[in-house]
Amino acid sequence: SSGINAEYGDFTPTLPDSLTAHYLSQSGLQTSDPRIIRLVSLAAQKFLTEVASDALTHSTMRGSAPTTSAASSKKAKEKKNCLKMEDLQPALKDLGIEVKKP
């Protein structure tokens, strides 16, 4: 425990501690220990980062069809990434989470 606290003690996760504490409370875990809240925030951030990274990989693979004209090549370079369900679903499925469109 002291090793984790020493290594990540100054790290501030993207998810606010108050949000993590809220969802921990909603899940039935009541704690006032900020180290537990911070550890769960860190784990949630790692999970979300991995899912987003995998979804980006799926998006890149889906959109990597070869183009023939210079104009379409320029458009491909200017393309911005947008998270879509068709990229998110396989990323989550790799982690054992199945998501279906309503």
Token reading at 44: 């949630």
Mean model confidence pLDDT for the chain:
81
The reported pLDDT for the residue numbered 83 is 81
As a whole-number percent, the residues of the chain with pLDDT over 70 amount to 75
Write the pLDDT tens digit of every residue in 57-89: 988 887 764 555 555 555 556 667 778 888 899
Give the long-range contacts of residues 32-37, CB within 8 A, separation 24 or more. 35/1, 35/5
Is residue 6 pLDDT above 70, yes or no?
A: no
Q: For 19-49, b where at least 16 C-beta lie within 10 A, e where not — what string?
A: ebbeebeeeeeeeeeeeebbbbbbebeeeee
